[in-house]
Amino acid sequence: MMSANRWMATGNYFTAYRQEQRIFATHTDRLMFALFLVVLFSWPYFIELSTKHMLVIDNILIAVIAVYGLNLVTGFAGQISVGHAAFMGVGAYTVASVAGVIGDQHVLITHAWPLMILLSGLMGAAMGLIVGLPALRLRHLYLLMATLSFQLIFQWIIGSMELFNQGQFMYVGRVHWFSGEVGRSQHYMFWYYALLVTVVVSGLGVRNILRTRYGRSLVAVRDNDRAADAMGMHPGLTKVFAFGLAGFFAGMAGALQAYLNRGAGFETFTLHESIQYLAMTIVGGLGQLTGCIFGPAAIRILDLQVESLAQWAGGILPSSLDLATGLRPLSFGLVIVLFLIFEPRGIANWWRIIRSYIKLWPFRY
C-alpha cells in the first residue's frame, strides 16, 4: 500500500501504475527540485562571473536542450544518430535565413523571437521526420549511415547556397524585452534566464512525454521491436516519431545558439559537433533524463580544461608538436571509451547511487 506520509523518502509502495508514473515520488523530491530552481535563478544576484564564463554556462544550457532530443532518439528509442548538429543547424539557419531575407532588425526577429525559436523547432521536427523515414526499413549501422548522409548533405547545402551566404556568418539582430533592447552588457545574462526557462520547460515536457503511451512505445521498441510489434505498436512509425522529437529539440537549441552568438556560422554545426553531442549523451547516461544535464556540463568543462592544458603545454613543448590540435579529440575519444568500458550507464548512475545512499542513510541497504 501507499505510504501515508508523502514526505517519507522510503516506504512508498505503489498500488497503481499511475502512482508509479508521478514526476515526483515524494513531497521531499518536489521540495528539493523547487529549492534547486531557486538556486539556479538567484545565484547571479550574489556571484558575478566574467563574460567568458557566462558564455560557457549558456552553451552548456543550449547543449542540454539539444541532448534532450538526442537522448530521446538514441537513449530511449535505441536509434543511432550522428547528424544531430545538422538538426541544430536547421534551426539556426531558419532564424538566420529569415533575418537575411527580411532584415536582421525586423520586428519578427527582434521582438517575436520566442515565435522564431518555436518555428525553428518545428522546422527541425519536420526535417527529423524526413530523415527518420529510412528507420522504417533500416536499423543499426545502416541507419547510422543515413544520418551521416544527412549531416554531409546539410554541410554541402549550407556551403553552396547563396540563401545561406555559402556558410559564411549570417547576422541576427539583438532581441527586445519588456525593458527595451537587450544591450551588450546584459546579453549573456538575459540569455541565461531565457535558456534556463527553456531547459526547465523542455525537461518537464520530455518527462511527461515518457509517461504517455507514445513515450513508453519508444522504450518498448528499443528493448525489443518484434515484441512491441506483437503488442500492437508500429516500430517504424515509433522510430520516425523519435527522430521528429529529436529534431524539434535540436531545432530550438540551434535557434537559441543563433540568438546567443548573434548569428549562425557553418563551423558550429559540423560532424565534429555531432560527435560531441553523442559523447555528451553517452557520458551523461543513455536513457536517463538527468544524464541530459550531467553530460553536457561534463564535456564542456572537460573542453575548457583541455584548452587550458594545451595552452600551458604549448608554452613548454616545441610548437611543431601542435598539441592543441591533437589533445582535444584524444581526450574526447578517451573519455567515451573509458565510460563505455567502466560506466556504460554514465554519470546519471553515480547520481542514482548518491541518492540511494542518502535515502537509506544510516543503513547501508
> pLDDT tens digits, residue range 259-301?
999 999 888 898 988 988 998 999 998 888 888 999 999 988 8
Confidence band (pLDDT; 50, 70, 90) for 5?
A: low
Cβ atoms of residues 260 and 117 within 8 Å: no
The pLDDT score that the predictor gives to residue 167 is: 82
Q: Averaged over 65-93, what is the pLDDT?
A: 92
* Model confidence at 2: pLDDT above 80: no
Classify each residue of 9-28 as buried b or exposed e, where b means 16 or more C-beta atoms within 10 Å of its C-beta.
Answer: beebeeeeeeeeeeeebbee
- Amino acid identity for residue 292 in this structure: C
Confidence band (pLDDT; 50, 70, 90) for 23?
A: confident
- Sign of the torsion formed by the C-alpha atoms of 229, 250, 306 and 54: negative
* Model confidence at 314: pLDDT above 90: no
Domains of the chain by residue range: 49-270
Q: What is the pLDDT of residues 205-251, one digit of tens each?
A: 999 999 888 989 999 998 888 888 888 888 889 999 999 999 999 99
Q: Averaged over 101-118, what is the pLDDT?
A: 92
Lowest mean pLDDT among 27-31, 84-88, 111-115, 207-211: 27-31
Q: Averaged over 11-30, what is the pLDDT?
A: 75
Mean pLDDT of the chain: 87
The pLDDT score that the predictor gives to residue 325 is: 67
Cβ atoms of residues 287 and 221 within 8 Å: no
Residue linked to cell 547545402: 157
The pLDDT score that the predictor gives to residue 145 is: 87
The pLDDT score that the predictor gives to residue 305 is: 84
Cβ atoms of residues 267 and 175 within 8 Å: no
Higher-pLDDT residue of 295, 327: 295
The pLDDT score that the predictor gives to residue 49 is: 84
* Model confidence at 117: pLDDT above 90: yes
- pLDDT cut 90: percent of the chain above it: 41
pTM (2 d.p.): 0.91
Confidence band (pLDDT; 50, 70, 90) for 364?
A: low
Lowest mean pLDDT among 83-92, 116-125, 135-144: 135-144
Residue linked to cell 554531409: 152
Report the alpha-carbon distance of residue 187 to residue 184 in Å, rounded.
Answer: 5
The pLDDT score that the predictor gives to residue 209 is: 92
The pLDDT score that the predictor gives to residue 365 is: 58
